[in-house]
Structure 1
Amino acid sequence: MKIVVTGGLGFIGSHVVVELQQKGFEVVIIDNLSNADKNVFNGISEITGITPLFEEMDLRDKASVIDFFSRHTDVDGVIHFAASKAVGESVENPLLYYENNLNTLVYVLQELQKKDTANFIFSSSCTVYGQADQMPITENAPVKPAESPYGNTKQIGEEIIQDVCRVTPNLNAIALRYFNPIGSHESSLIGELPIGTPQNLVPLITQTATGQREQLSVYGDDYPTPDGTAIRDYIHVVDLAKAHVVALQKLLKREMSSNYDFFNIGTGKGSSVLEVVNAFEKVTGEKLNYKIVARRPGDVVEAYANTTKAKEVLGWQTELTLEDALASAWKWEQNIRGY
């Protein structure tokens, strides 16, 4: 079966491509390389022994999207990652985010709507919950007003898909609400490769450990948590990638009770920033130079998932630990930096 992975050279997308190819799917990657490195393509090929099809394309160009689907009429499913994802940048440049994250979604869905049957998986986020009222967060938790244009695009994206599914019975879709993906493939041939200053904790940790960064900033130690630092649900990217394959198989086998649903994808366990720092030091033997600084505006106190629905409906749960993820992230950082 032919599966299109938009943004397939990005951090999560590349790991999903690997898992798909190892399960026998034919993969076509679409990426405009705005936040990805072409070398990732070589890593995917080396891991799987299979060279996926690749089209360099900007999905904001509607004519290119129409042309792509006219040439690939045998597409069985689309997994949609292509989007801008930096919260701070979205606040500074909201129109870029609304164009890149929503127009591209609409153009892809318009093409899938034309097909007799279509399957679609959307890369969503736990940001849709904001600061949830209760922990762990279930899928029944209310969607709160977004803290950023980025978060808003995930909320609106889910609404668009749900609206389209309501009037398009031949379209089957699942939105996966990720918590905090970290780590890398065990081969260290693909991993998280942020361009510029990383937005996420673990690349900041690994870059501090290699000396690229003088010091790690820990934003706030006065939160109402056991050690005062913010709590998140850190999931190994390989576990996250496998969730996409399981969800896709459910869609392809027509095993879902409705043609639209959404799931939390996390570990079900919250870890504070200092717990992550300590776990990294333990598994690597590296001491981190870190400093407590003021809180960042917009950061929630804690967010971790209830994953019961994903386990019961999809038959998916995590297999890898926080320590596994940190060890793989460190191995990846050493590999790309020649450390």
Structure 2
Amino acid sequence: MTSIVMSQETFNRLRELIYTRSGLEFPESKKYLLESRLRSRLAAVHCRTFEEYYHFLRFDPQREQEFTELFNCITTNETFFFRDMAQLDCFRHMILPQIIKEREKTKSLRIWSAGCSSGEEPYTLAMIIMEEFPALTGWDVRILGTDISEHMLQAAERGVYGPYAVRHIPPRYLRKYFTGSEGQYTIDPMLRRLVKFSVLNLFDSMRMRTIREIDIIFCRNVLIYFDQEARKRIVTDFYHALRDPGVFVIGFSESLNGINRLFRPMPWNKTIVYYKASAMPAPSMTVAGSSNHRIPQSVNGSAPAIQVTHQGSGQRSSLAPSGTESHPVSAGRMWKRKEGVP
């Protein structure tokens, strides 16, 4: 199988097909990467050449399932808990206090981690909320994690992590919210119930439009895998998914310059976040330049600081499948649908 070579013509066809379905870009420099990652799929579907595999993806009755496997193969999934602390400090000190003040009447908070991989980011946000915000006691707090890779979301739901993923978790958080030690760490069921997971292709505008009434979106180190036109389309969908005011957080190496002028950039300490706001006040919680406003390295070992309201059993909730519901649905309906709530 390793002797099979992808021709330039087939590479062009495959990358165009992948782009059409997912928005993921494979430039010429990544031809070998695509070739090496897809070899295992040739064997799995009994194709002798990449040309046969291309025709399988175009015409075989099982092609939709194979696209799921293909996306599992070609996406990069390196992540860990408490990644990019400056952004988490901003979440804790500026973003959440402002959003909590805005939502005081409804006592509802919706957070979306887009491109969440195996769940480290949404679980990190859940830990911060549980420990740092007793003001949210009794609120309806929900965190949604989405990814194009079904395999990664299955890992997120299992909630079992190795030493690499947990290496930056403050020790007391690790003891409080995980069981096990050394080789494997299992997330506490309490956190698992707070986060729902769903397979979502960010390039699928029909399904993106079903997500509404979100307060905060994290989409870090994801947009870099798309070309400029795909980024514009995806970011526009994010904009419409947010309430007003709402907050959009992207990776340190990413920028919305030339992509979207609707968001208002807001610098804070060592990072920049983006606001959807018709009239957002200047941040009152900013501690720019401060180095001691960090997520605490120790927390008390008792029960969580808050007990939030959540629904369901921790199973992955399902967004509306393409073609079954074309009109926008609220975040509440999205989270409740799998649980049988109308």
TM range (shorter): 0.3 to 0.5
Rg comparison, structure with higher value: 2
The two structures have a TM-score, normalised by structure 2, of 0.34
